[in-house]
Amino acid sequence: MASFADIQLDCGIARGLVRGDRRAQGLAYRILSPAVMGMAVRILQDEGLAQEVVQDTFVELIDKAATLRDPDAVVGWVRRVAVNHCYMRLRSPWHKRRSAVDGTDVLEPVDPTSGDERVEGQRDLERALAALAPETRLVIWLHDVEGYTHREIGELTGQSASYSKSQLARGYARLTKIIEGTADGSETDALRPACSS
Amino acid sequence: MDPKPTLSDLLALRDGELDDAELTAAIYADERSRDELVKLARIKRQLKSLPPVTPDPAVWEAIERRARAQPGWLQRFPLATAATVFLAAALSVMLWNPGSEPDRSAAAPQPVARAVDPVGRLMLRSRNLESELFTRAGGRSASEEALLYGIADVDARLGEIYASGSEDPEARERLWRERVTLLESLAEVQRGQAVMRPAIY
């Protein structure tokens, strides 16, 4: 599962992080980085940028862990910082321009002859996600996978809760079409006018 | 007339955010809407079950490099370091200044370490090791860095104990013992390196 909600960080590791213990830092990275990377690569659709998000998030964690008052809040803190880093990159003019011209898959292709329906379904979903506009992808991921409310997404993006709801509906309309094969996944939404900011 | 559900309504119902009873009833009554609802729930389930992605191993190496470029352990634990320096200074005054020891016999020389409790002996040993270690010039190896972090960690815990005024001699002794052990390991590592260097060059 890719969600942060499924992750439990041992309180000894969390306390070690707060103390600046290097072993704890390494363990926290091993436990949390796949979730950060999974989220970043799906939102940004760029492996290099996703790895930058992982790097920035954990450098910030190591640097600021001593200021965390509640060790139990480490997972939520990491998620919030990672989401902010994703959003910052999504908003950069460079990323917007690049998204408009590059629609290649970023995750390793699944062997189509594997016969595993679940894996095939995942591949279709990954492809459909990649075809959405970046901010629509962000809203879908934060709402459906990370459990953000529309109000929280609105606060993050500087928009209203209604904006988040409409992005979710818009994204689902396109996702279902692509998954059912009634829309061409290669035509990215990024070519449309950018989402309102 | 039955209200016609939109995709937003279906998503809101799926997520438990729809508070219109009439609309909810209309959705459940309509077979096509029910099918749509099932489809939307399935996509959400699939999204949540997408596997995590392991970053390239080079990412952690880059993080460590960047984190190490940040202020080191002395800056990371300034209070603990200050507390340790203060303790070491206080101890040296206590141990080396004859005037501060009113019961000391003038007849016979006193072994310095004998005059204090187990914690005092550990503090003295700690101080002696530190004076030996931190006069050494040159860069530090990864093992040395790891041991220094361990010492900084002990210092932080000692700092907390002293700052809180806790009267727990066992905890103090345990931490000072841990500190001495780490310093001895550090001394071992440095002695090993001193032996290795002439052999290499």
Reported ipTM: the value is 0.82
CA neighbor of B182 nearest in space, from B146, B134, B128, B136: B146
Q: How far is A65 from chain B (nearest CA, A)?
A: 11
**Pair of tokens at residue A153:** 């997404």
Residue in A closest to B49 by C-alpha? A1
CB contact under 8 A, A34 and B52: yes
Chain B: residues touching A (Cβ < 8 Å):
6-8, 11-12, 15, 17, 39-40, 43-44, 46-56, 59-60, 62-63, 66-67, 70, 73, 76-77, 146, 149, 152-153, 156-157
Exposure class string for B63-96: b at 16+ Cβ within 10 A, else e: bbeebeeeeebeebbeebbebbeebbeebeeebe
Nearest by CB: B48 against A36, A107, A144:
A144
CB contact under 8 A, A34 and B53: yes
- Amino acid identity for residue B148 in this structure: L
Residue in A closest to B76 by C-alpha? A20
Q: Lowest-pLDDT range, A94-108, A117-131, B46-60, B98-112?
A: B98-112
Per-residue pLDDT reduced to its tens digit, A172-191: 999 999 988 866 544 444 33
Residue B112 pLDDT exceeds 50: no
CB contact under 8 A, A144 and B146: no
pLDDT of residue B157: 79
pLDDT of residue A42: 96
Q: How far is B184 from chain A (nearest CA, A)?
A: 20
**Pair of tokens at residue B176:** 């000072």
**Pair of tokens at residue B182:** 């780490």
CA A15 to chain centre: 26
pLDDT of residue A186: 46
- A chain contacts of residue B51, beta-carbon cutoff 8 Å: 1-2, 38, 122
3-class DSSP state for residue B201? coil
Per-residue pLDDT reduced to its tens digit, B4-59: 799 999 999 999 999 999 999 999 999 999 999 999 999 999 999 999 999 999 99
Residue in A closest to B46 by C-alpha? A122
CB contact under 8 A, A25 and B70: no
- A chain contacts of residue B7, beta-carbon cutoff 8 Å: 169, 172-173
Nearest by CB: B67 against A3, A62, A122:
A62
C-beta of residue B56 within 8 angstroms of C-beta of residue A37: no
- A chain contacts of residue B156, beta-carbon cutoff 8 Å: 19-20
Per-residue pLDDT reduced to its tens digit, A14-45: 989 988 899 999 999 999 999 999 999 999 99
CB contact under 8 A, B47 and A37: no
Distance CA A74, CA B46 (A): 26
CB contact under 8 A, A41 and B53: yes
Mean pLDDT confidence for A147-164: 95
Predicted structure pTM score: 0.62
CB contact under 8 A, B53 and A107: yes
User: Within 10 Å of residue A30's Cβ, how many Cβ atoms?
Assistant: 12
Nearest by CB: B48 against A3, A165, A172:
A3
